[in-house]
Amino acid sequence: MATERTQVGIIGSGPSGLFLSQLLHLNGIDNVVLERRSREYVLGRVRAGVLEQGTVNLMREAGVQARMEREGLPHDGFNIALDGELHRMDLKARVGGSVMIYGQTELTRDLMDARTEAGGRLLYEAEGVGIEGLEDDRAILRYRHDGADHTLECDFIAGCDGYYGPSRQAIPKDVLREYERIYPFGWMGLLSATRPIAEELVYARHPRGFALCSMRSQTRSRYYVQCSKDDRVEEWSDDRFWDELRSRLPGDLAATLETGPSIEKGIAPLRSYVAEPLRYKRLFLAGDAGHIVPPTGAKGLNLAASDIHYLSRAMIAWYHENNAALLDSYSDNCLRRIWKAERFSWWMTNLLHTFPDTNPFEHRMRDAELDYLFSSEAMMTAVAENYIGLPY
């Protein structure tokens, strides 16, 4: 069995794992990334595309901003459709900020290419990753790669391996606390090579259910409609999807919808989830390994980036200054921001979706909340502040 040594072992090559690997590399900290899937599989996952300013800044810090700044679409606002009308939330006017439309797949590719060009150690199809020795002087990662068993000794392990990975499971049950809300619906999503329906994102509330009109570029659109959590993708033909989307949008907007064959379709369940703490001994959780938000508030990828903001600085302080203060405060620092983002995503989800068990009083409360939002500068400012991302 081959035994190797590194300073930081990173499990998972999604955005959080790659961000951390790149930032550590730029600061002279050795690391190895283990990914159970193939490189092609990781790049084939279609995910979010709304970047907060903090995530944009992290791309620049990581030195991988060139394509994003060339191809990304800055948005100064977004729209909410209700009762046949569009209401614009002006981010720039209210909080002086904006968001960047740039697909998670493209961000992942940029980071992956940077690590490869720098000779980074990214091991794809690393199977059966196991974690040992968290309470010892060195933590150990055991895995199988290219038909051989390997041992990787680490100072620290970063669990960037998603909700179903082994990292969170390595935290003792009497230490780990979990908080969860499962929503009684899903999102049916469709990607098409069509012109976006609007210049900015459109969130729609309708009696038939929520809808979202998003984009990946000026020639590629991403659309979603709320569906039953029991629906299957094969039940949704392209024609059915386009008809349902049109029915949930204001008539004049629906009339401009450009349709075409789907490039990709899928149904995503919605949940809110937080694990506490995000650190156990030599193990640190980041991204979906520690928290999940419903996509309504566009916070999932951005929370992963903010975790890495805190974790990279903590590890740099340890290796450069022998200062453990940021390592010790990592979980608390992350969780303060995570819970605020969870609140905003939960609020947006409850405000804009149709719930099967909503009674007439609750329905009118949602109407009143939206009416207040559209008529209050203070409320619109609060929404804008949360949407562009709270400060780190």
> Any idea which residues carry the catalytic annotation?
75, 203, 295, 299, 387
Q: Are strands 202-204 and 262-276 parallel, antiparallel or unpaired?
A: unpaired
- Other Cβ atoms less than 10 A from the Cβ of 72: the count is 21
CB distance 239 to 188 below 8 Å: no
Burial 117-155 (b: 16+ CB within 10 A, else e): eeebbbbbebeebebeebeeeebbbebebeeeebebbbb
Q: Tell whether omega for the bond before 277 is within 30 degrees of 0, i.e. cis.
A: yes
Instruction: Round to whole Å and give the CA distance between 196 and 192.
Output: 9
What is the SS3 assignment for 184?
strand
Instruction: Round to whole Å and give the CA distance between 67 and 56.
Output: 12
Cα angle: 383, vertex 337, 286; to 5 degrees: 125
Give the contacts of 360 (CB within 8 A, at least 6 positions apart). Answer: none
Burial 278-288 (b: 16+ CB within 10 A, else e): bbbbbbbbbbb
Among 83, 334, 24, CA closest to 206? 83
Q: What letter does residue 354 receive in the DSSP assignment?
A: P
Residue 237, φ and ψ in degrees, nearest 5: -70, 165
Distances (CA, A) of 369 to 168, 347, 361, 362, 380: 37, 10, 12, 10, 12
